[in-house]
Structure 1
Amino acid sequence: MIKQELKELGILATNLGSSTGQNWFATGADITSSSPVDGQVIATVTCSSHNDYKDICVQAKKAYAIWRLVPAPQRGEVIRLFGDKLRSLKPTLGKLVSYEMGKSLQEGMGEVQEMIDICDFAVGLSRQLYGSTIHSERPSHRMYDQYHPLGVVGVISAFNFPVAVWAWNTALALVCGDVVIWKPSEKTPLCAIACQQILADILKQKELPEGISNLIIGEKTVGEWLVNDTNIPLISATGSTAMGKTVAQHVAARLGRSILELGGNNAIIITPDADLKMTTIGAVFGAVGTAGQRCTSTRRLIIHESVYEQVKASLIKAYAQLQIGDPLLPENHVGPLIDQKAVAHYLDALSEIEKQGGKLIVTGGLLTGKGFESGCYVKPAIAEVENHYDIVQQETFAPILYLIKYQGDVMEAIAIQNDVKQGLSSAIMTNNLREAELFLSAQGSDCGIANINIGTSGAEIGGAFGGEKETGGGRESGSDAWKAYMRRQTNTINYSTELPLAQGITFNL
């Protein structure tokens, strides 16, 4: 059902490798890409061998020597063309994202739109890579700082956003003068091949080296090559906290840099002053969107006892109306989990909730029968729990929503929200100005993202995206996140006829 889309994206073969003329090195073992939508194999993909990786690194290094000298506004023009191409291919690429990953078609289109948005942001940034002028303590001296390209950037992305997160990193890195080697999730290789093909066509059109954008496909070992390579000064990695800890240790051991976007355990606080209609919309979308497989998915609702029963009843009613099935059909709200391993984790979590004392009020479970043959469809579940339960403290990448009651003021709710190891996204639903301001203050949310009267999901490109604690501390996308992809240099110019030394030191010759 996806053959026409693959053809439109320049992916012409069912067995994809270097022999097909695609823009990556691939002479290793084969893997298959299967859709969680219907369980069908989409294509067989040839992975990159270690020798392929070495060749890619040589190609990237040569390309960097050229690309870093291209003026930043001209680099921005390449990204502008890439964004324009994405606009024309949005329906096609969006459908591939939906089919290969399993998110709704609307979400697949939205992910491609995020790519377009970051391209727009990066084009503007290409004329705004500002440094600062600094007043020197020495007469007739001028000081300033400036930013230079960093080098070859390694990007490791996850299956849940198979194209957008790469684009967040790549659009900024390329505008900054870096080149990129991308290791996508082995669960969504076709989305990566499509993106590589689109950008490679733009580079060819501008007569630029293809090594500016590079792709390596494979499993864990391929990522390890990137992480341990001393020639790659920056690794941007998205995935689980366990994976991020390993990446951080290895990159730090060689004094490299890392941008880590890891697990979330995101909560919405619901106070007595909340608009409960808005609350239901935000909570349901946050909990079941992408079948709960977003790092910003809503995992916990921390609800004041005075509105607890009302919120619970509203959620149960809303969950009864959810349509589960083929995500390419617009009437369905919830698609499949990525694979049957994810289903097993989901089922284990449901079992643990009851073992640890929780109560399932929307029971969930595996869906079988017509339309669910892939074995990847599950029912979104809701459970009443305590925040200290081990299962609640973990991130389960599935549509399970925990309800937690609080009795006191908003500071009690904030303490409950912060009492997890992760610190990505957070939100409060309230029309009370004092509660809102407390939530955003230094004694409020300890997360990288804190929202008022919107949910935990749906970050905008213009803001820096990332979190604290076991979420990794990295920042991608907007604001000044671009600085992570560059090296900072402080410059001092002496335009006098003397050489005064700092701190009043004299040294006469």
Structure 2
Amino acid sequence: MHELLSRLGLARDENLGGFDGEHWLGTGTPLDVITPIDGARIASVRPIRRAEYEHIVARAEAAFRTWREVPAPKRGEVVRRLGDALRAHKKDLGALVTLEMGKITAEGEGEVQEMIDVCDFACGLSRQLHGLTMHSERPRHRMYEQWHPLGVIGVITAFNFPVAVWSWNAAIAAVCGDTTVWKPSPKTPLTAIATTHLAARVCRESGVDPAVFSLAFGSVEDVGEPMLADPRFPLVSATGSTRMGRRAAEVVGRRLGRTLLELGGNNAVIVTSHADLDLATRAILFGAVGTAGQRCTSTRRILVHRSVRDELVKRLVRAYATVRIGDPRAAGTLMGPLVSHDAVAAVQSALARLKEEGGEVLYGGAPLDGPAFPGGHYVEPCIAAAKHEYRIVQEETFAPILYVIDYGGTSRPRDHVTLLGEMREAIALHNAVPQGLSGSIFTHHLVEAEAFLAHTGSDCGIANVNIGTSGAEIGGAFGGEKDTGGGRESGSDAWKSYMRRQTNTLNWGMDLPLSQGITFGEP
């Protein structure tokens, strides 16, 4: 472990949590970083305090004024080099993600690969920040729009994707001409420090001010709330709970700033009577158990047609029984620990509420202890029979709990009217939760698939057919509706969030006609 920290520029004892582009800062009380794998201390981090926050933001603001002058393709070249640095350190950084957050090795390295992919995407994007040309109604006039850099972007990330979500924002903001100040989760600061070390080195080697990628690890009082209220941040991108997102929207909105919010999910898979149950089972298993159910896109609810409900449950129980739980670094492990003791307690609380409301645990849910499960962070993944109206089903428990809810008749629909009626029932159940991030349907019937994707179908930002709710590609815009916050990050045209749009009209004639045919004064 100590060799790993050293290779990533981290101290085995104490690290500083702030970076201003030139110096590392941190005068707060040291915070021990604990691995959920066995509860051992990895290292400590000194958070920054309010005065250091002010200094870091001032430096990021100064760097922005220089960085925005760099041509966008040149900015893209710096981001490409960042991707190369991440490639060179993929295994080490992935191992640190596993150590600090608890993801299995494949997922830890996969998260670093996601950063690499985003850097590649952003590099290409740097030559495609296109505006539009419009025809003017006035003679000898030209209208067009262009996009300009926005400013310093505040990036607040959560523990479950400790580095990938930063890259969605920072890499794309960088090619757009913005600088970023990153506030990582208090549970995962070491991965943020290591990533910032890599970014700083790339900037120095490229002749660029490393304050393009600044770091501000600190408390809500010293960093979080000041960032939300700070007019120097025209945009704050925040990933976390809906409660946190409401606070961010309120404070940033009060000063008329922008927010990009990626909040809770309560994602459902509809399994129809026309589904391939083998395919559905595999997708549900990864969606519900992957990352120990700690993804915002994790599968929380199964809405299954009554004609296939028992068979699907039987397959899921059989599949869950094969999941190897334990040290995420060990070969063959499919599910590691939850991030904290509080997360384990939340599972037990949710299952107690489920039973109070009349639900039944069909598989798992028990905490795991003993020599194979040190630290007290492990649980069995759980399958539970539930009803849609249960209050616990309406909430997101950030853990591997899967609620099975049935719909429709006891046999496959034999006519078009019945089929559409049952699809309306399933879609209504799918949509009738406060969250709206990701959803999917398993079916080989064209009508069911198209009904799910229609404007009267899924109300989520991500809607899939015959794949699960989790594991979105970086090329599509990521985000959701309702209590999920409405933000969009990563692919498609999400880059526009990090820029300001400007409409331009150019008169190349000798007259001054007004729009809408208005005359004012003497012609």
TM-score, length basis structure 1: 0.98
Verify the 8 A CA contact 2:2 2:12 in the aligned structure 1.
no
- Which residue number corresponds to residue 197 of structure 1? 197
Query: CA 1:373–1:22 in 2, change beyond 3 Å: closer, same or farther?
Result: farther
Query: CA 1:277–1:47 in 2, change beyond 3 Å: closer, same or farther?
Result: same
- Which residue number corresponds to residue 316 of structure 2? 315
Alignment gaps of 5+ in structure 1: none
- Which residue number corresponds to residue 185 of structure 1? 185
Deviations 1:270-316 (A, max 9, x none): 00110000000000110010000000000000000000000000011
C-alpha displacement at 1:371, in angstroms? 2.4
Deviations 1:418-459 (A, max 9, x none): 010000000000000111011000110000000000000000
C-alpha displacement at 1:504, in angstroms? 1.5
Q: Distance in 1 between matches of 2:392 and 2:22?
A: 44
- Which residue number corresponds to residue 411 of structure 1? 424
Q: Distance in 2 between matches of 1:407 and 1:442?
A: 22
TM alignment of 1:68-79, pairs within 5 A = 68-79=68-79
C-alpha displacement at 1:475, in angstroms? 0.1
Deviations 1:71-122 (A, max 9, x none): 0000000000000111111011000001100011100011001000000100
Q: Distance in 1 between matches of 2:202 and 2:286?
A: 36
Structure 2 residue 511 is matched with structure 1 residue 503: no
Deviations 1:366-410 (A, max 9, x none): 101102221100110110000110000000000000000001521
Verify the 8 A CA contact 1:22 1:197 in the aligned structure 2.
no
SS at match of 2:304: strand
- Which residue number corresponds to residue 33 of structure 1? 33
- Which residue number corresponds to residue 463 of structure 2? 450
The code of the aligned residue for 1:442 comes to: H
Q: Distance in 1 between matches of 2:513 and 2:307?
A: 70
C-alpha displacement at 1:506, in angstroms? 1.6
SS at match of 1:492: strand
The code of the aligned residue for 1:39 comes to: G
Alignment gaps of 5+ in structure 2: 410-421
The code of the aligned residue for 1:256 comes to: G
- Which residue number corresponds to residue 11 of structure 1? 10
Verify the 8 A CA contact 1:185 1:219 in the aligned structure 2.
no
Deviations 1:44-76 (A, max 9, x none): 100010000010011011101100000000000
Q: Distance in 2 between matches of 1:19 and 1:493?
A: 45
SS at match of 1:374: helix
Task: Give aligned-pair identity as a percent.
Answer: 55
C-alpha displacement at 1:38, in angstroms? 1.1
- Return the match for 1:474 from 459, 470, 487: 487
C-alpha displacement at 1:463, in angstroms? 0.1
C-alpha displacement at 1:361, in angstroms? 0.6
SS at match of 2:463: strand
The code of the aligned residue for 1:151 comes to: G
SS at match of 1:215: strand
Q: Distance in 1 between matches of 2:23 and 2:277?
A: 51
C-alpha displacement at 1:230, in angstroms? 1.1
Farther-moved stretch of structure 1 (135-144 vs 363-372): 363-372
Q: Distance in 1 between matches of 2:517 and 2:309?
A: 68
Verify the 8 A CA contact 1:100 1:190 in the aligned structure 2.
yes
C-alpha displacement at 1:19, in angstroms? 11
In the TM superposition, structure 1's runs of 4+ consecutive aligned residues that sit over 6 Å from their partners are: 18-22
- Which residue number corresponds to residue 494 of structure 1? 507
- Which residue number corresponds to residue 463 of structure 1? 476
Verify the 8 A CA contact 1:106 1:330 in the aligned structure 2.
no
SS at match of 1:302: strand
- Which residue number corresponds to residue 173 of structure 1? 173
- Which residue number corresponds to residue 115 of structure 1? 115
Q: Distance in 2 between matches of 1:291 and 1:185?
A: 18
TM alignment of 1:285-300, pairs within 5 A = 285-300=286-301
SS at match of 2:287: helix
The code of the aligned residue for 1:475 comes to: R
Deviations 1:109-153 (A, max 9, x none): 110010000001000000000000011010110000000000000
Q: Distance in 2 between matches of 1:303 and 1:211?
A: 51
- Which residue number corresponds to residue 148 of structure 1? 148
Query: CA 1:18–1:427 in 2, change beyond 3 Å: closer, same or farther?
Result: closer
- Which residue number corresponds to residue 331 of structure 2? 330
- Which residue number corresponds to residue 260 of structure 1? 261
- Which residue number corresponds to residue 105 of structure 1? 105
- Which residue number corresponds to residue 419 of structure 2? none
Deviations 1:453-487 (A, max 9, x none): 00000000100000000000000000000000000
C-alpha displacement at 1:209, in angstroms? 1.3
Verify the 8 A CA contact 1:37 1:99 in the aligned structure 2.
yes
Verify the 8 A CA contact 2:265 2:435 in the aligned structure 1.
yes
Farther-moved stretch of structure 1 (405-414 vs 12-21): 12-21
Query: CA 1:238–1:296 in 2, change beyond 3 Å: closer, same or farther?
Result: same
Q: Distance in 2 between matches of 1:195 and 1:215?
A: 10
The code of the aligned residue for 2:519 comes to: T
- Which residue number corresponds to residue 129 of structure 1? 129
SS at match of 1:82: helix
Verify the 8 A CA contact 2:18 2:215 in the aligned structure 1.
no
Verify the 8 A CA contact 1:265 1:299 in the aligned structure 2.
yes
Verify the 8 A CA contact 1:23 1:200 in the aligned structure 2.
no
Verify the 8 A CA contact 2:17 2:47 in the aligned structure 1.
no
Verify the 8 A CA contact 2:289 2:400 in the aligned structure 1.
yes
SS at match of 1:73: helix
SS at match of 1:506: coil
- Which residue number corresponds to residue 53 of structure 2? 53
SS at match of 1:182: strand
Q: Number of matched residues?
A: 508
Q: Distance in 2 between matches of 1:151 and 1:500?
A: 35
Verify the 8 A CA contact 1:24 1:215 in the aligned structure 2.
no
Q: Distance in 2 between matches of 1:115 and 1:305?
A: 41
Q: Distance in 1 between matches of 2:501 and 2:332?
A: 50
SS at match of 1:404: strand
Verify the 8 A CA contact 2:287 2:299 in the aligned structure 1.
yes
C-alpha displacement at 1:507, in angstroms? 2.5
